[in-house]
Amino acid sequence: MRPKHRLPFEILFEDRDVIVIDKPEGLLTTHTKVLGRLAREAQLTAENLLNDYVRKGQLKSRNRVWLVHRLDRETSGVMMFAKSEDVSEAFRSHWNEVTEKTYRARVEGLLESEEGVFESYLQEDADGYKVRSVPAPTQASKRANSQKPAKLARTEWKRLSTRDGTTLVEVMLKSGRKNQIRVHFSEAGHPVVGDVKYGAHKASRLYLHARKLRFRHPFSGKWLEFSAKAPRGLEDAQADRT
């Protein structure tokens, strides 16, 4: 039995171990840096909404969901939560080996190549607000740096179509770093449309969408795939037929 309140997103799949949802643009994945448990639990986030859902209105229930990965507030699309800490840890420990993520993005400017790869070491600024590419870390720099360590990020993409001075691309992540797609395309001179944070002009939304998530189930071992319909401005008739 589901709780009486209506969730503001679709549940694409659910079993005893995972929940897969279609997260809308504008919804936080998890709480921001607020103090106090009650303040964190009061924030409107996908995590809190799903906690209410799995508790089925029973305030004393210990049921909850665990983060497996994140989507930025401005990014829509497929994302997954675990229903136990063990499942969450199983995914997080082997994320790149057991998952495949495909995004749809519209970027500023016209990309001349049909496909390409961005690869760099990404590091968060000291305040955690932005991310940037940095030189490959040495052992000495790792010891001297008090910030979070730089991590290798690989972004593969292919051009789908062009329109009004923008390019629609399909993006395959080979790592899962914070703001990875946004940083790589911005540093290449083609920020995601609407991504003011990384140098784009203001638009009606951030034109970035998690289109597909494929993963190996931690217990059955079967590969499962789920997709979320591309929102307006990110559709591609030919690609969406496949």
Question: Which among 77, 36, 45 has a CA at the least distance from the CA of 64?
Answer: 45
Query: Which residue is catalytic, options 17, 22, 52, 72?
Result: 72
Round to whole Å and give the CA distance between 234 and 78.
15
164: tokens are 């009004």
Half-sphere exposure (Cβ direction) of 91: Cα atoms closer than 13 Å = 25
Residue 94 and residue 54 in contact, taking contact as beta carbons nearer than 8 Å:
no
Query: Which residue carries 């969901």 as its tokens?
Result: 65
CB within 8 A of 69, min separation 6: which ones?
A: 79, 80, 91, 92, 95, 99, 176
- Torsion (CA) 155, 86, 70, 98 in degrees, nearest 10: 20
Task: For residue 12, give Cα distances in angstroms to 6, 48, 72, 77, 217.
Answer: 15, 18, 19, 11, 15
Annotated active-site residue 72? The verdict is yes
Round to whole Å and give the CA distance between 202 and 200.
6
Half-sphere exposure (Cβ direction) of 67: Cα atoms closer than 13 Å = 11
Residue 96 and residue 175 in contact, taking contact as beta carbons nearer than 8 Å:
yes
Q: Which residues are marked as active site?
A: 72
